[in-house]
Structure 1
Amino acid sequence: MEKYSLDDAQRHNGPISMELLSDEAGENRQFRVMVIDDNDIELKLYANGLAKHFTMSFARTTEKAWELLNRAPLPDAIILDILMPDEDGLQFCERLRENQYTSNIPIIFMSSLTGSNIKAQAFQLGGADFVVKPPIIEELVARINRHAAQYRKTKRLEALIFIDPLTHLPNSAKFDEVLKQEWSRCARYWHHLSLLLVRLEDMQWFKKEYGKDEYYAMTASIADALSGIGARPGDLFASLDDDCFGLLLSDCSTSGAKIKANQIINTFNQPNFVVNQEFGDHKIECTIAVAVAAPAGGGNAVQLYQAADNLLFKAKKEHHKGIVELGHIMGVDDLDAN
């Protein structure tokens, strides 16, 4: 979620939009907090009471909140009203918990409902806290600080474990974890799941010819250029072993996977792309294996990865570069096809 400032037109020609709000001192805020509430009076209460302590953003609907959450950086805590007009807070909490990027953000539920059942539901769905309206601002600030601090600490630890230090992309351990999570989620909702394995060709020659430092710099540059290919919520682009990247596309079938694969090929073919500098007779290219599954039809995440990896192995054996496809959808056409 980005920080937003009000331009002159907003300051002088109309009311402040509560969807987006920040102040000039926002850079000094310790934590970012998103408030999701459809009541203007309560939004103003949060704006006046919390903006002194945090960098704030606001959304009147869960769809607007979802749009904001797809912008970086993400908030350190979310204040979520349970009674919302388009999608209640409990349902939206489920959606947040199923997304790899928002699954661990602490959610503080706000509600005038005080029954034990509603509180139990809130915590069962992954809520970090429950505050009865109207909140005592000083107490709410303390709760936010506690939950956000723990979230930041957890994120720092995860970065040490799950981020590749060279490319700053998620590493293979994180990729395996998300692959299993997305397989289960797609099976539950009857969605397709696509996997692209992107192998860089001739990189070992490049390392031998130009040295490790240039090799590392080239790998990092390629990773940076390709990282924007998987830009939808739920997509994951990760750095795997042996000059290979993985792109996981949730809720994506064959046609969408082919589009992404061709985007990668087109990137490599751009004249100004880093691999198209002068390197003698050699040119760094890529081979992309595309495998698509319908998890609800059976199988498991390991089989999907193995299918794509087998395609890469076969392509290397046959000296084939470019895009290679499985040719069927696992779980639909023929689960046992190779």
Structure 2
Amino acid sequence: MPAYNLPPEFRTLATLPERPRLLVVDDQPINIQTLYQIFHADHEVFMATGGEQTLAFCRDNLPPDLILLDVVMPGMDGIEVCRRLKSNPALADIPVIFVTARSEPADEVAALAAGGVDFIAKPVNPVVVRARVKTHLTLKAQTDLLHSMVFIDGLTGVANRRRFDEALQIEWHRCRRSNRPLTLLIIDIDHFKRYNDHYGHQAGDACLQQVAAGLKAGLKRAQDLVARYGGEEFVCLMPECDHPAGQTKAEELRAAVAALGIAHADSPTASCVTLSIGVAVMQPSSANTPEALIAAADAALYEAKRNGRNRVSVSADL
């Protein structure tokens, strides 16, 4: 979406990263060196010399903000690389600019049909390539902002259920590829209906906001996600986190919210707002599913409630 179609507050918020991450893909070192010299002063520039290396880099690292991709390469060509990127939900939004010596209209059509956002002929003009990269990075930042707004819970400011559902699928497949565990916490505010009945719904909304802020502050890793799951329930999704670490983090979050000291005069559990937390850890594989992880965490939450609330319950090994 062009910047002039965005409301003013979106234009100011949709800012570029301080040092955008570019991935330059070309089988000729001289071409990589040329683009590196153009961008290295104010961008993080990464390099790949083939299609498989490009896909592996994007899968196994923080994805780049933009890819400058050659078309003609041995093995997998740039067109196929772009198609595979666009077929992966976790990578499909990375803008791809083709940089190639081919300049026939049919080549440009093929590149754009594969999902490229632009097509630049070699040899590159530094001024032109910088301007086009800046344009597409700006468009990407605006798109990311609008995308994030769709996935934010309007009351608490943390991710919403839709964002959690998307993240669960992405992290499930990522942890399955890397053979690493995935941890899920399902969190319930104890006796929240009684809180609402006693203090009123405005106070209830403020309580949800404070709890959400406390949970978000307690997750220190960038890859961890806290989301409002529905009503007074929250979830925390923590990739590459094992049983001991998951239980420890759950206990930290429970203690952090209790330490907020939000008065709950009508709670039979404690004089302040407390949490019950169910923890499940699973090694994603073909033998299990994301839904099984949710069911295990939910069962653990039920166990925490059954045993008196204001506690953490951990599911057995899955």
Scaled by the length of structure 2, the TM-score of the pair is: 0.70
Tell me, in whole angstroms, the C-alpha distance in 1 between the residues paired with 2:250 and 2:37. Answer: 46
Tell me, in whole angstroms, the C-alpha distance in 2 between the residues paired with 1:29 and 1:165. Answer: 19
Aligned-residue RMSD, C-alpha: 3.4
One-letter identity of the residue aligned with 1:284: V
Could you tell me how far 1:196 is from its partner in structure 2?
0.7
Query: Counterpart of 1:240 in 2: which secondary structure?
Result: strand
| Alignment check: 8 A CA contact 1:80 1:107 kept | no
Pairing partner for 2:204 from 215, 223, 244: 215
Partner of 1:239 in structure 2? 228
Query: Counterpart of 2:218 in 1: which secondary structure?
Result: coil
Could you tell me how far 1:57 is from its partner in structure 2?
4.1
| Alignment check: 8 A CA contact 1:289 1:308 kept | yes
Partner of 1:14 in structure 2? none
| Alignment check: 8 A CA contact 1:122 1:130 kept | no
- Structure 1 residues 88 and 168 mapped into 2: Cα distance closer, same or farther (>3 Å)? same
1:147 aligns with 2:136: yes
Partner of 2:73 in structure 1? 115
- Structure 1 residues 237 and 135 mapped into 2: Cα distance closer, same or farther (>3 Å)? farther
Pairing partner for 1:31 from 16, 37, 57: 16
User: Counterparts of 1:113-262 in structure 2 under 5 Å?
Assistant: 114-115=72-73, 117-126=76-85, 128-131=96-99, 135-262=124-251
Tell me, in whole angstroms, the C-alpha distance in 1 between the residues paired with 2:201 and 2:231. Answer: 14
1:288 aligns with 2:277: yes
Could you tell me how far 1:187 is from its partner in structure 2?
2.1
User: Counterparts of 1:58-77 in structure 2 under 5 Å?
Assistant: 58=44
Could you tell me how far 1:121 is from its partner in structure 2?
5.0
Could you tell me how far 1:36 is from its partner in structure 2?
6.0
Tell me, in whole angstroms, the C-alpha distance in 1 between the residues paired with 2:147 and 2:123. Answer: 35
One-letter identity of the residue aligned with 1:178: A
Partner of 2:60 in structure 1? 95
Could you tell me how far 1:125 is from its partner in structure 2?
4.5
| Alignment check: 8 A CA contact 1:196 1:291 kept | yes
When structure 1 is superposed on structure 2, of 232-241 and 39-48 the one drifting more is 39-48
Could you tell me how far 1:182 is from its partner in structure 2?
1.7
Tell me, in whole angstroms, the C-alpha distance in 1 between the residues paired with 2:312 and 2:13. Answer: 47
Q: Which runs of 5 or more residues in structure 1 are unaligned? A: 1-26, 49-55, 59-78, 331-338
Tell me, in whole angstroms, the C-alpha distance in 2 between the residues paired with 1:106 and 1:125. Answer: 17
| Alignment check: 8 A CA contact 2:69 2:98 kept | yes
- Structure 1 residues 141 and 319 mapped into 2: Cα distance closer, same or farther (>3 Å)? same
Tell me, in whole angstroms, the C-alpha distance in 2 between the residues paired with 1:180 and 1:82. Answer: 27
1:45 aligns with 2:34: no
One-letter identity of the residue aligned with 1:91: A
Could you tell me how far 1:41 is from its partner in structure 2?
7.8
| Alignment check: 8 A CA contact 1:170 1:237 kept | yes
- Structure 1 residues 134 and 215 mapped into 2: Cα distance closer, same or farther (>3 Å)? farther
One-letter identity of the residue aligned with 1:45: I
- Structure 1 residues 137 and 28 mapped into 2: Cα distance closer, same or farther (>3 Å)? farther
Could you tell me how far 1:146 is from its partner in structure 2?
4.3
Q: State the number of aligned residues.
A: 263
- Structure 1 residues 204 and 194 mapped into 2: Cα distance closer, same or farther (>3 Å)? same
Scaled by the length of structure 1, the TM-score of the pair is: 0.66
1:235-263 per-position Cα deviation (integer Å, ceiling 9, x unaligned): 21111112111111111111111121121
Q: Which runs of 5 or more residues in structure 2 are unaligned? A: 1-11, 86-93, 101-121
Aligned-residue sequence identity (percent) comes to 22
- Structure 1 residues 259 and 316 mapped into 2: Cα distance closer, same or farther (>3 Å)? closer
Query: Counterpart of 1:140 in 2: which secondary structure?
Result: helix
- Structure 1 residues 135 and 204 mapped into 2: Cα distance closer, same or farther (>3 Å)? farther
